[in-house]
Structure 1
Amino acid sequence: MTQLDAAASLRGLAVGDAFGSRITLPGDHPEVLGRRLPPSPWHWSDDTEMACSVVSVLSRYGEVEQDVLATSFARRYDASRGYGSGAERMLLRYRAGERWRDVSPEAFGTGSWGNGGAMRVAPLGAWFGHDLDLAADQAARSAVVTHAHPEGVAGAVAVAVAAAVLTRNPAPHPAELLGIVASRVPAGEVQRGIAVASAIRGSTDPASAAAELGTGRAVSAVDTVPLALWLAAQHVDRFADAMWTAARIAEDLDTVCAIIGGVLAARNEGAAIPGNWASACEPLPRWLTDPVAHGINR
């Protein structure tokens, strides 16, 4: 079941990412308020490309092999997918033969605290849904390859645990889900944000929740993950509603929606993904399932 859950989570992540990448209008625009889907095809971004590397490594090894994951990130790097400048510099250094153990911790002086570790990790959480502590540990291992700051790691742990929970309990109370996540996230600002999110009622205006939790504007784990998980927790069986709500209130929308989509699709093997949304999203890359194109030397 773990592989099926992870595959479903990856599809949901890609759909959310592609939807968020395609929505370029302000949140108060009539097309957003009227929920008019953008024309297809929807192309996904670096969020999905990196998530595919995570799944490919799990498929081959059953766990996070960090050196292989770093190699895959570097090999699959495609500038047209919208990587940030920091990620671009890092992955090009990996391509040039530098070790991730040397490069990642020195990013921004203390390691990156961005949301990149969180945006790609939901399928890993679904993979290890049978063991929440293992999901948290493997998420941390996947994050430090590019995001060595404790808050960058904490964001990845939070998303992975949320996805893992939904493979076990497809209909948790929002506060229950967020409480379980907060209990397994290392102490810090991400954990604090999730604890705050667990106390915000579902009847709260989402814009008010975003004002308290963050919108993703800073592209950090701290101001992205708590809101994304609050939205996921409030819409566990309403994939489209979660996405449209994010479109109204969030920034760095592709990443917020990728996190939401990956988490929500982990439940019930992705049954919540609307068919017309799935068909609008471009297919996942051929190398993910092609044994020849898939191979990465260790």
Structure 2
Amino acid sequence: MAESARKALALDALTGLSVGDAVGNQAFPPHLRVRKAGNPPEVWSWTDDTQMACSLLDVLDRHGTVDQNALAKAFAERAETFRDYGKGALQFIDHVFHGGDWRAINAELFDGVGSWGNGGAMRVAPLGAYFHDDLGKAATEGAASAEITHAHPEGVAGAVAIAVAAAHVTAHRGRTVPDLLETVLEHTPRGAVHDGVRRAAGLLDRPAIEVAGEVGNGSRISAPDTVPFALWTIQTRLGDYEAAIRTSTLVGGDMDTMAAITGGVIAAHHGAGCVPRTWLDAREPLPAWFTA
């Protein structure tokens, strides 16, 4: 497939991700919202989810693969720290921006355990769309994109799960998507993320608030606490972007990240046209350095 065609598919996912991120960000109380200086109130600001996803897609566009050194540098140099970055991410950015090795700071975070947060998952849907024709490669590249900031295997597993989901739905664009959660489970390493997705797969007929109580709503900002509910929402509301985003914010927790993950995967399947036009118009423009 031509690189231009891959990028077009990834851009659809990025649109869905960024709008979901912006909508979810507005769901927080006003004093907690991330707002860029000079934006009028009607502009819906996005967070670090979108900022890092733009860097990831830019690196894919320039290298055709996840060049980890280039991506670490992009994360550090393009970060606008008011974008609601977590404590570990801010330490990473500062270390790498001042010339440090990303591998060293990554391994030292959280008392040497490494981050198992949801950051790898929140930004990876465009990558999955980009590598939609090879689920194994989507999983491998998704892992590589997460390893830069997440040394803990669960942080990587969360990114793998969402990359594979985005790849699988993109490959079935315009058609019924078979065995989504089973396909994700086949490629996701065993552990807490895998177990959570397995539990979510058994709750497809349950109300959202009950499912969130069982598998998490992202309030712990961890991949195991975020990815299972995001995939449950994608599976049960794949045909309706707006309903999926509203469900992502209904259960509280990490609403912008949950909506970013969900929106990115659903738009990868349907194309950017599934995003409500009024929402897209309200979303803050993507970074000036990012050339679509």
Q: What is the TM-score when the length of structure 1 is the normalising length? A: 0.90
Q: Deviations over 1:41-86 (max 9, x none)?
A: 1000011000000000000000000000000000011111111121
Give the match's secondary structure for 2:109: helix
> Are residues 1:272 and 2:274 paired?
yes
**How many equivalent residue pairs?**
276
State how 1:87-126 maps to structure 2 within 5 Å: 87-108=89-110, 109-126=112-129
Shift of 1:168: 1.1
Q: Go from structure 1 to structure 2 and tell me whether the alpha carbon gap of 1:173 and 1:127 turns closer, same or farther (over 3 Å shift).
A: closer
Q: 1:5 aligns with which of 6, 9, 12?
A: 9
Q: 1:85 aligns with which of 66, 87, 98?
A: 87
Contact 2:249 2:258 in 1 (8 A): no
Supply the distance in 1 between the matched residues of 2:76 and 2:151 (Cα, whole angstroms): 17
Amino acid at match of 1:150: P
> Are residues 1:24 and 2:28 paired?
yes
Amino acid at match of 2:123: R
> What percentage of aligned pairs have identical amino acids?
46
Supply the distance in 2 between the matched residues of 1:172 and 1:143 (Cα, whole angstroms): 29
Q: 1:178 aligns with which of 131, 156, 181?
A: 181
> Are residues 1:238 and 2:240 paired?
yes
Amino acid at match of 2:158: G
Q: Which residue of 2 aligns with 1:32?
A: none
Give the match's secondary structure for 1:287: coil
Shift of 1:280: 1.0
Contact 1:114 1:147 in 2 (8 A): yes
State how 1:111-260 maps to structure 2 within 5 Å: 111-170=114-173, 171-172=175-176, 176-201=179-204, 203-260=205-262
Cα RMSD, aligned residues only: 1.5
Shift of 1:236: 0.8
Supply the distance in 1 between the matched residues of 2:63 and 2:211 (Cα, whole angstroms): 40
Supply the distance in 2 between the matched residues of 1:137 and 1:217 (Cα, whole angstroms): 27
Q: Which residue of 2 aligns with 1:73?
A: 75
Shift of 1:25: 5.4
Structure 1: runs of 5+ lacking an equivalent: 27-38, 291-298
Q: What is the TM-score when the length of structure 2 is the normalising length? A: 0.91
Structure 2: runs of 5+ lacking an equivalent: 31-40
Supply the distance in 1 between the matched residues of 2:269 and 2:6 (Cα, whole angstroms): 11
Supply the distance in 2 between the matched residues of 1:252 and 1:209 (Cα, whole angstroms): 15
Supply the distance in 2 between the matched residues of 1:250 and 1:262 (Cα, whole angstroms): 19
Supply the distance in 2 between the matched residues of 1:223 and 1:268 (Cα, whole angstroms): 26
Contact 1:133 1:184 in 2 (8 A): yes
Contact 1:239 1:261 in 2 (8 A): yes
Q: Deviations over 1:8-37 (max 9, x none)?
A: 1001100000000011259xxxxxxxxxxx
Contact 1:66 1:142 in 2 (8 A): yes
Shift of 1:252: 0.8
Q: Go from structure 1 to structure 2 and tell me whether the alpha carbon gap of 1:172 and 1:210 turns closer, same or farther (over 3 Å shift).
A: farther
Q: Which residue of 2 aligns with 1:36?
A: none
Supply the distance in 2 between the matched residues of 1:172 and 1:189 (Cα, whole angstroms): 29
Supply the distance in 2 between the matched residues of 1:172 and 1:112 (Cα, whole angstroms): 35
**Structure 1 runs, 4 residues or longer, greater than 6 Å off:** none
Contact 1:166 1:263 in 2 (8 A): yes
Q: Deviations over 1:168-196 (max 9, x none)?
A: 1245468x101100110011010111111
Supply the distance in 2 between the matched residues of 1:18 and 1:268 (Cα, whole angstroms): 19
Q: Deviations over 1:249-294 (max 9, x none)?
A: 131111000100111110132221111111110111110118xxxx
Q: Deviations over 1:203-233 (max 9, x none)?
A: 3111111111101110000000000111011
Q: Which residue of 2 aligns with 1:55?
A: 57
Amino acid at match of 1:51: A
